[in-house]
Structure 1
């Protein structure tokens, strides 16, 4: 496929133009995830639900994402990625309609489980393994790390803008004379419209060639190393589940009395820093290696998170959290490139699914636990536990994989 004007602007050199729809889709979904992660706790509290309910619904979204990702790993060998992404866009539309129209905890838990809602800053939905597999096939070598970084950059920037848009419901309610609850419901309507918009975007993806169609076992010889990576990633995900954006938003509202608008402004700044760090990750990984980039940017970020739990003032707390945001996401493109380097092209959907499922399941436990801790008044405990677990994960990852040099069938070698 020839590179058009838009493709030349958003794609790094050496990447096929077929990656463009995945980047556009990530941007649109990231914008929606950005404002809903901030507004979800405010919306649920406005419905009369409690803090523990916020955690339960956040957990239900992550458990459902894990189940959907398992299904993706099975069906990706039978159906084209394009068709499955179009199906996912339809599910996104249904999710927005369900949250906008229903109010009971039981109904919202069901929709959270089967839908595509994302309570955090990172992407944990069934879109992720499908889009990663598409991107991995559009580039090789260093260009693959670059396209994963661009993918994370687009997601981070769009999520930051979405967080800034979280102030819109309160602004609109005050000027239009409608209730805040009605304005919040309208934001879920926008989420549904975004799903409709994604249909033509994903239809632009090319049909797979016969030689690119999956064949053989889902994971062959790399199964052992992918299994170990998946288990370690699950520890990191459980820790991250303790401080997903919806719960961090709730924590800031409780501790400092933040409004949704002020919280959105904070997440806008944090999102910009996270997005900018994606560009730094590529040259840094080229210089010190993928594994070292993952570990030695993660540990300082975790220390900042722990310190924020003890910070005596608002401004020091926000400063520490912003420093964390500037460091904590550099491992995302490098981690993805590392996984994709150990498997062959037909195995990539299965590898992405196989590593994503334990992450989603482990992350699903965190929000409920964190919500319970917040409800009992232990406001700093989720931040401390998250930081300590992530440091343990980083040290273990370094110890287990420091001598591993994955090579895939395309001959790409990533030295760590």
Structure 2
């Protein structure tokens, strides 16, 4: 079993999406299920509806999963196991105030050392704990020996007991902390492999320590992916990229390609399953390149079914799909294509540079008979209006397309001729 564990406190970003995609690919390769675990323990930070938005995005990218679980549903189980650890003297109540802990952090910082809990409450007797009427957290005792694990991408890691520390597993509100809840959930879900961002490397040692303390012996394989460097914050949001007109298939293609060696540049997610090797991912952070994504998006738009493209643009006509593809020489997103198609069908009231010519041509076209090809139509308009050269070509193009430039009008006309009445209304 593999899991993707997003937190509903922000928009899904491209780094999170890449983690989801890699989990999906590897789950298919290993013939194991993928579960979505919404990490919603930190209720104060949760944005309402964000969990549903995350699922919608995963569905949009055709990421298949066995089921959806919310971490908060396991709260009683988290608390029960914490009590078990306390009864076994593997965890203890900590009455240290925030001020005291802050003092310890400042002392460690002044000495140039990493902060570690000083163990003050670890030796309190059961009688003292029972007679202390004060809020407390629950801390797990630090390990007695080093915590070692192997990352399939990065190799071996070795954390000392001091680095793992006696960290908090239940806060004063008796809610589980991230590392504790994550460790317990991976255990009860029988997770066999964890693929996630490199920022969690130190967390892995803490989570292994929790499971070791519970005598859980199943080995979980780990892959910590390098980060994606993105200088423009808005480009991090998957929702923003979709709204800007990037196809999910192109975004997925780019994220698999990023920092990876692939047999070809343009491919589908399903194709990637047959050759993807997660151990081939670069260990270095990769820079997000919007121009590269635009190139890949254009390639996917070039091969998309004409009818499907037409429906994405709000029509149901192969010709509209073909029409949109004429604009791919200059544009690369659905949003840009839609703007051009919208301009064609928008009502044109006037033309700043060719006011008189515009009205003559528009009136002429409103009365014109049907013509199969553009040359005959153009000749008809020329005869009826006595306009020639740019006085004819410029405003005629504008009446038909809403712009003065773009693909050859002779290529556009066969695809819009059946809509001429609507276009020149």
Q: Which structure has greater strand proportion?
A: 2
Q: Which structure has greater helix proportion?
A: 1
Greater C-alpha radius of gyration: 2
Q: TM-score, normalised by structure 1?
A: 0.23
Q: TM-score, normalised by structure 2?
A: 0.22
